[in-house]
């Protein structure tokens, strides 16, 4: 979402996609400076301590506009921290050091009760405390404390291959609060790409040859619609009403969202994915054909008007 916001604002974006520690390993300096806007003081310390734990013998300075402070981990350069404090007006605070979790266990810190909790981009439940602790047992995710699991979310995570929780990408909270800016339609005729409950992968799908995305899942549809809105890439969303509302919805012209009447979006989505041809199609014509074939199995819950 930071990448989406930057692109909408016209800022130059260099998107890497790797972990911060992997990127920083390419720059063998004694001290690292990061700017990161945290949600809470706890999440700022948690994020910084996790990165610092992978930097071996290097220091870390984390400038956090969210909590208006500068966190510092040894070995640090006091003069650099002081200079940054003077130009930002933020006080320098010693960062908490990372505590290693037991094997197959992950502590997701900085949560607010009621927030969605993500593992590799999939919502697996909702936080009930400041720390959500999960474990990997018998090939699936189990709740240890601080989280109410969402069975359907865990099921989806397992279906894609349950990750090593110690290395998985985990976070909590909504991922953006601003509505997306609307761009002009990308192309009318081209290839169709399927995004099955893995919204982050839509960035890898974007290219000048695609005319639209088939998105399977309520939140996957809203996220891909949000990201594609500015790029002018429409979606054919396959949903079943199980939405968590983690981003404000917005869609490119030509987008249609369908809701399954008697089926789960997973099953219906797989069926529709099998109808995606390898050759280019006219997006509007193909979408209407799918809607007609499905008949009363779906209802249209949103249709984004075309550009005038």
pLDDT tens, 36-73? 988 889 889 988 998 898 888 889 999 999 999 999 99
Residue 171's pLDDT band, with cuts at 50, 70 and 90, is confident
Domain layout of the chain by residue ranges: 30-99, 105-172, 189-303
Close Cβ partners of 68 (under 8 Å, ≥ 6 residues apart): 89, 90
Residues in a beta bridge with 256 = 236, 303
More confident residue, 20 or 44: 44
User: What CA–CA distance (Å, rounded) separates 14 from 249?
Assistant: 25
Q: Can you list the alpha helix ranges (DSSP code H) found in the chain?
A: 2-8, 20-24, 41-53, 78-88, 151-159, 202-205, 218-231, 265-273, 283-294
User: Tell me: the pLDDT tens digits for 152-170?
Assistant: 889 888 887 888 888 888 8
Structure tokens at 266: 């997973």
Residue 307: which pLDDT band, with cuts at 50, 70 and 90?
Answer: low
Tokens 């989406």 belong to residue: 4
Helix axes 283-294, 265-273, angle to 10 degrees: 130
């Amino acid at each position: 979402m930071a990448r989406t916001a930057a692109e909408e604002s016209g800022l130059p974006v260099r998107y890497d996609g790797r972990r911060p520690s992997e990127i920083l390993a390419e720059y063998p300096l004694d001290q690292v400076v990061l700017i990161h806007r945290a949600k809470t003081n706890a999440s700022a310390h948690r994020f910084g301590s996790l990165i610092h734990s992978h930097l071996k013998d290097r220091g870390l300075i984390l400038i956090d506009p969210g909590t208006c402070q500068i966190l510092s981990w040894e070995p640090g350069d006091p003069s650099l921290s002081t200079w940054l404090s003077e130009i930002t007006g933020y006080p320098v605070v010693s960062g908490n050091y990372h505590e290693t979790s037991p094997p197959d266990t992950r502590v997701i810190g900085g949560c607010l009760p009621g927030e969605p909790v993500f593992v590799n981009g999939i919502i697996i439940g909702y936080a009930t405390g400041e720390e959500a602790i999960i474990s990997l047992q018998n090939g699936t995710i189990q709740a240890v404390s601080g989280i109410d699991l969402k069975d359907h979310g865990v099921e989806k995570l397992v279906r894609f291959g349950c990750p090593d929780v110690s290395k998985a990408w985990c976070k909590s909270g909504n991922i953006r609060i601003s509505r997306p800016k609307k761009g002009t339609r990308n192309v009318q005729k081209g290839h169709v790409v399927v995004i099955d409950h893995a919204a982050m992968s839509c960035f890898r799908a974007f290219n000048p040859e695609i005319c639209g995305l088939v998105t399977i899942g309520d939140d996957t549809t809203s996220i891909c619609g949000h990201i594609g809105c500015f790029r002018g890439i429409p979606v054919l969303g396959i949903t079943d009403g199980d939405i968590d509302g983690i981003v404000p919805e917005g869609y490119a012209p030509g987008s249609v969202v369908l809701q399954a009447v008697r089926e789960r979006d997973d099953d219906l989505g797989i069926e529709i994915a099998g109808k995606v041809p390898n050759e280019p199609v006219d997006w509007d014509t193909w979408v209407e054909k799918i809607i007609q074939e499905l008949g009363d199995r779906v209802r249209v819950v949103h249709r984004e008007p075309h550009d005038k």
